[in-house]
Amino acid sequence: MKKENLNRLTTSQSPYLLQHASNPVDWYPWNNEAFEKAKDENKPIFLSIGYSTCHWCHVMAHESFEDSTVAELMNKNFVNIKVDREEMPEIDHMYMSVCQAMTGRGGWPLTIVMTPDKEPFFAGTYFPKEGSGKRPGMLQIIPSLANAWETKQSEIRQSINRIQDYLIKINTSVPGEEWTEDFIQNAFSHYASQFDPDYGGFSKAPKFPSPHNLIFLLRYSKFYDNPNALKMIETTLHNMRLGGIFDQIGLGFHRYSTDKRWLLPHFEKMLYDQAMLSMAYLEAFQLTKNTKYSDVAEDIFTYVLRDMTDENGGFYSAEDADSEGEEGTYYIWTEDEFIEILGDRNGKIMSKVYGFTKYGNFRDEATGQTTGKNIPFLSSNVQDELLKDLHLNLNAKELNEIIKTCHQLSITPLVEIFNESELNLAINNGAELIGINNRNLNNLETSLSIFEELAPKVPKDKILISESGIKNIDHVKLMAEQGADGVLVGESILKSNDIDAHIKMLASIKKCK
């Protein structure tokens, strides 16, 4: 990242704003300087709100905010402000209300154009660089808005007044009707009318888990002893767990499904979804005593503790939908990848367990075309189908053991361990590498101690020590001298934007190996 390309976001602590610190767009954070500049130059404000793990925020950034042509238009006609919704939720809430009032919909990235006095007159979400059909792109929207600002101030003022009147109306509190039990019954009737009896949930597509609605129905079912409410809940929870919206390999729930079957998710994972869905599954277990629901809750907790918990005890708010520059790359598979990891027989069996097809069950969201990749999912009768497959010649016990073993290994040759029992499980199931998880390593001495304890049980070339015990290049070299074949180096020692430091670190690791 070259210094001359950095804008005013470079001093921010927000990960989202830092993602845009090298944009050619002359971004300002939300501050008085930006609004004073807009007043002095009589320019409208272009406000863009998003967050660091938002897929469509990334798409709009790559298409438009990193593009010199779009940036030149934005810098010429607007004062541009970038806001992280997780850092300033009150700003996000206010302008999301505006967007929903003006367009009937909302989402991120949130795009608002407003006067220097913070009065919005244009709203939307994602816009492509180039327009297509009836959908305008940034190259069409910016000149149109600039022209309106110069020549149509009366129309802009009328639009502003209508928006303000509407917002005042919907936000003005008035005494409601006296509370009656009908409110609860009407809420249940609404959910019942929207329910999908085939796959659960309360819409066609996209489908959001909406755990607060599920919890309401669980308690309604209990309080009113209503079997229909319970059936709605069980159908929904069961199908969500089977679908691609649940990460069958790494555990945890993705944000929502783009189809009615819960198969194709939007791959982002949110901490608040894990929290609320674990509550829904636990309350379902309390009500039904069916352990399949408590098992899901335990899976969620395992995922959160492993992947969303910082070594200092805090929680990460989300995991990005994108990896390697594309959405979902981390979560989609081919049969060959399963075979490479699990061996020929088990790989083919687990591919069938998870619904893989030759051409891939994962379709591109925009084009609908198959990609050759697969999203792992389960069907209710998959085990019966496999037991009937004469080529596999499996009995139920063998099939369950294969599924259990592969699931315990999390379909990965590297197993992170937290304690002695997990170590023994990993060894007994043939783990190819043992990774000592960073949360158990506070210093190098602890790392070396655990390393030596493992040595009699696992070949040294199968052990990797992870980041907290590995603070710098010297530690990497020392671990190599002790016999480690590889070292997991995490973000804690690669936070700098200094490319040279990264290259030196990688070169040292290569020499060690």
* Per-residue pLDDT tens over the stretch 347-384: 888 888 889 988 888 877 666 777 889 999 988 777 66
Q: How much is the pTM?
A: 0.70
So what's the pLDDT on residue 179? 85
Of 505, 442, 432, residue with least CA distance to 450: 442
24-33 pLDDT, tens per residue?
999 999 999 9
416-452 pLDDT, tens per residue?
444 455 445 544 544 444 444 444 444 445 555 555 5
| Mean predicted lDDT score pLDDT of the chain | 81
Q: 99 with 106: CB under 8 angstroms? A: yes
So what's the pLDDT on residue 155? 93
Instruction: Report the range of poorest mean pLDDT among 6-10, 210-214, 236-240, 357-361.
Output: 357-361
So what's the pLDDT on residue 507? 43
Kindly report the three-state secondary structure assignment for every residue of 152-188.
CHHHHHHHHHHHHHHHHHHHCCCCCCCCCCHHHHHHH
Work out whether the CA dihedral 432, 436, 439, 440 comes out positive or negative.
positive
Q: 126 with 104: CB under 8 angstroms? A: no
Confidence of residue 482 (pLDDT cuts 50, 70, 90): low
Spatial CB neighbours of 461, under 8 Å, sequence gap ≥ 6? 483, 484, 485
Is the pLDDT at 175 greater than 50? The verdict is yes
Confidence of residue 478 (pLDDT cuts 50, 70, 90): low
Confidence of residue 511 (pLDDT cuts 50, 70, 90): very low
Among the residues of 128-270, which ranges form H helices?
138-151, 153-171, 182-194, 211-224, 227-242
Residues 301-327: what's their mean pLDDT?
Answer: 85
Q: 350 with 342: CB under 8 angstroms? A: yes
Adjacency order of strands within the sheet including 27-28: 27-28, 79-84, 45-50, 110-114, 120-124
Residues 4-12: what's their mean pLDDT?
Answer: 86
Q: What angle do CA 358, 362, 365 make, to 5 degrees?
A: 145
Helix (H, G, I), strand (E, B) or coil at 389: coil
Residue 315 is given by DSSP the state B
Residues 89-100: what's their mean pLDDT?
Answer: 94
Residue 374 is given by DSSP the state B
Is the pLDDT at 400 greater than 60? The verdict is yes
Q: 209 with 273: CB under 8 angstroms? A: yes
| Domains identified in the chain and CATH numbers | 3-171 (3.40.30.10), 204-331 (1.50.10.20), 413-512 (3.20.20.70)
9: left (phi over 0), alpha (psi -120 to 50) or beta: alpha
Is the pLDDT at 169 greater than 70? The verdict is yes
Q: Facing residues of 265 across strands?
A: 257
Instruction: Report the range of poorest mean pLDDT among 117-126, 236-245, 447-456.
Output: 447-456
Helix (H, G, I), strand (E, B) or coil at 113: strand
